[in-house]
């Protein structure tokens, strides 16, 4: 994808308005009620030649589950932060367009002998109503573009809640902090209350009380997507890497382009790591109405996922499962979200089932219904090799999750 000129203020606000319009048009289920707040994130497709845009995916939320609640069958989603929901909804959007391209129907992809490439002029924009938790939210005194900080009242935290705003408060000397925690085996933030500066450039896990999560902060995940592509290991076997070209963040909240560039691009001296797309960072003049504030003091319990597919997929999530799932059925595939590991893997296998050339190229003579999720991901050798290099050179460390997702998918 080629570069385009900087986004104008008018276009930036138009992009954000399109995100708000999709959000307002969705049902009330999962949205904040009185005195509640949430985070809104969207991924937008922009055609720089046609000057057209469409919201590809939308997510809201601020919660994640603890390590003990992770599901080996891939039916419970570990991380329900808005940024993660928007990204996983974007994977549905990609699968939808991949399927259309392979059937020679209108798509963002062109079919090049079975390998898919984006049409020229297609670029992607990531919008979020606030800075992501983790390193990008650490703003030290004196950094530019510091916005007003709104201090919510104290509230009771539970083991599901990531206190992404409650713990990110401005101190008297203009420092803005994150509630995300350094990894246990790494250097820790100073415990001395007189030392307000947190460590910079650290991989962190999402904040919360009780059962600790293994999910890394959204700052770390976004940095990974910038270096590796947002498509993930499975889709990487079907098309070229997909990168975010522009990041837009909301107004009415703390903002620092310096912090964003540090967290996403400059954590280490990485002369050997060259980005395929160097992203640009902007702030809109628009404020998301459900942002955390003096009036909106409690995090909304639910999360929303929406994706622009042929069915305009919309679901509400609570504790990593589809809203309404009973305790009896909570671990069944039918109770899982459309963006769960199980459902996204099923989308991948459905693509292979429709294309014998791709299926043979990736799986050989294996029966795809007998290939576990974790084994299939290991077939993405280019992606794995690049990720290994990025972890070593840029992040230096990462969380280690158990290799527990050895589930297969029933295609009937």
State how far the alpha carbon of 172 is from the alpha carbons of 89, 195, 202, 251, in Å.
39, 12, 24, 21
Task: Find tokens 């069915």 and name the residue.
Answer: 311
Distance CA 24, CA 45 (A): 19
Please provide the size of the chain in residues: 412
Long-range contact pairs involving 180-188 (C-beta distance under 8 Å, separation at least 24): 180/133, 180/134, 180/135, 180/137, 180/204, 180/205, 180/206, 180/207, 180/217, 180/219, 181/205, 181/207, 183/397, 183/399, 185/397, 186/397
- Helical spans, DSSP H, in 179-289: 218-228, 232-235, 257-264
Cβ–Cβ < 8 Å for 252, 291: yes
Closest CA to 127 of 45, 205, 51: 45
CB atoms within 10 A of CB 176: 25
H or E segment at 360? helix 356-363
Helix (H, G, I), strand (E, B) or coil at 16: helix
* 83: annotated active-site residue: yes
Q: Which residues contact 201 (CB under 8 A, 6 or more apart)?
A: 135, 262, 263, 267, 268
Provide, for the chain, the percentages of residues in helix, strand and coil under a 3-state DSSP scheme, each rounded to the nearest 5.
30, 20, 55
- In angstroms, the CA 280 to CA 388 distance is 25
Q: Which of 9, 34, 83, 123 is catalytic?
A: 83
Please tell me what DSSP assigns to residue 268: S
Active-site residues: which are they?
83
């Amino acid at each position: 994808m080629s570069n385009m000129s900087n986004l104008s203020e008018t276009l930036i606000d138009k992009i954000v308005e399109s995100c708000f319009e999709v959000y307002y048009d969705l049902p009330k289920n999962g949205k904040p009620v009185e005195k509640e707040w949430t985070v809104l994130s969207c991924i937008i497709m922009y055609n720089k030649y046609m000057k057209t845009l469409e919201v590809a995916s939308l997510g809201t939320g601020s919660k994640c589950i603890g390590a003990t609640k992770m599901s080996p069958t891939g039916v419970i989603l570990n991380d329900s932060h808005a940024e993660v929901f928007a990204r996983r909804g974007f994977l549905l959007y990609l699968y939808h367009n991949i399927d259309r391209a392979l059937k020679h129907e209108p798509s963002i992809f062109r079919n090049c002998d079975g390998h898919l490439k984006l049409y020229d002029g297609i670029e992607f924009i990531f919008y979020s109503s606030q800075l992501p938790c983790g390193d990008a939210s650490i703003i030290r005194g004196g950094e530019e573009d510091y916005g007003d900080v709104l201090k919510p009242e104290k509230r009771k935290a539970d083991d599901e809640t990531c206190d992404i705003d409650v713990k990110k408060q401005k101190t008297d000397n203009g420092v803005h902090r994150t509630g995300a925690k350094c990894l246990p085996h790494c250097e820790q933030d100073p415990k001395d209350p007189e030392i307000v500066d947190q460590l910079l450039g650290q991989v962190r896990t999402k904040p919360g009380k009780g059962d600790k999560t293994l999910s890394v902060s959204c700052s770390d995940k976004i940095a990974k997507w910038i270096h590796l592509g947002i498509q993930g290991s499975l889709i990487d076997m079907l098309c070229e890497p997909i990168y975010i070209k522009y990041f837009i963040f909301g107004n009415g909240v703390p903002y620092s382009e310096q912090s964003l560039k540090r967290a996403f691009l400059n954590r280490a001296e990485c002369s050997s790591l060259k980005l395929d797309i160097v992203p640009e960072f902007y702030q809109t003049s628009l404020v998301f109405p459900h942002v955390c504030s003096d009036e909106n003091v409690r995090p909304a319990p639910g999360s929303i996922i929406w994706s622009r597919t042929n069915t305009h997929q919309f679901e509400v999530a609570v504790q990593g499962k589809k809203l309404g799932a009973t305790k009896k059925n909570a671990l069944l595939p039918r109770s899982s979200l459309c963006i769960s590991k199980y459902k996204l893997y099923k989308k991948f296998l459905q693509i292979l089932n429709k294309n014998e050339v791709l299926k043979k190229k990736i799986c050989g003579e294996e029966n795809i219904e007998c290939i576990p999720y974790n084994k299939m991901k290991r077939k993405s050798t280019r992606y794995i090799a690049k990720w290994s290099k990025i972890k070593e050179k840029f992040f230096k460390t990462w969380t280690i999750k158990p290799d527990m997702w050895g589930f297969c998918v029933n295609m009937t």
